[in-house]
Structure 1
Amino acid sequence: MEAICGLKDVYKVLYQFERQFQVSHEMTINEAMLMCCLQDGDGKSAGALCEYIGLSPSRVSKIINSVEKMGYIERSISSEDKRQMLFSLTTSGWRKITEMRKIELHIPELYAQLKSCFEKG
């Protein structure tokens, strides 16, 4: 039970990191991960986005809608399968990716904080 109680510190560190990320980038980490999946320039299906992000289809659907409302992605019908929607970055989406690459994420500090959570126990 002690290990489970210790997880609260891990969640606190990750929550703080996500809040800082959201303030810096004006989007959640999940929204940014969706955009990362699309940065190879190929359109992706919702299923491929789910697999990449590791979330349920219903959750990814909400993320898709959110990023689409921001104007960073667009949907189109697959030329190979007319039943399938493909998602890709818009010009604004590419600009946002470029902008996000310029901001330091402080990953070493995040690792250090997470490591200290595990060393406490």
Structure 2
Amino acid sequence: MESICRLKDLYKILYAYEKQFAEEAGITINEGALLCCLKDGKPKSANELCDFIGLSGSRVSRIIHTIEEKGYILREIGVFDKRQMIFTLTDAGKQKIREMREFNIDVNSLMDRLKSVAEE
């Protein structure tokens, strides 16, 4: 039972971090992770995005839809396989990545708080 309580404490800390990030960045952590996957400038398939983020295909599909509506990514049909969708960053997406680099969210402090709860 005690481990469930500690897991709940960890979740609360992560939720507060995600909320702060969303307020400052204007996007969720998962949307930010998807943009980070594309930051190298190379087009990626939906499967590659799923693998990078570590979420289900249906969840990533919703994230793709949301940031596509925000104008951060572009969806194109695959050259060799017309069934495949390929995603790239738009100029607005590249700008959002630059903005995310400037956010003052202390990851080290977050890690310290998580370690503290995990070691209790």
Moved more, 77-86 or 26-35: 77-86
SS of aligned partner of 1:5: helix
For 2:10, the equivalent position in structure 1 comes to 10
For 1:19, the equivalent position in structure 2 comes to 19
Structure 1 runs of 4+ aligned residues shifted over 2 Å read none
SS of aligned partner of 2:55: coil
Q: How far is 1:6 from its partner? A: 1.3
Gaps of 5+ in 1: none
Gaps of 5+ in 2: none
Q: How far is 1:118 from its partner? A: 1.4
Alignment of 1:84-99 (within 5 A): 84-99=84-99
Q: How far is 1:5 from its partner? A: 1.9
RMSD over aligned Cα atoms: 0.9
Q: How far is 1:116 from its partner? A: 1.2
Q: How far is 1:105 from its partner? A: 2.1
TM-score, scaled relative to structure 1: 0.95
SS of aligned partner of 1:104: coil
Query: Does 2:57 align with 1:57?
Result: yes
The number of aligned residues is 120
SS of aligned partner of 1:114: helix
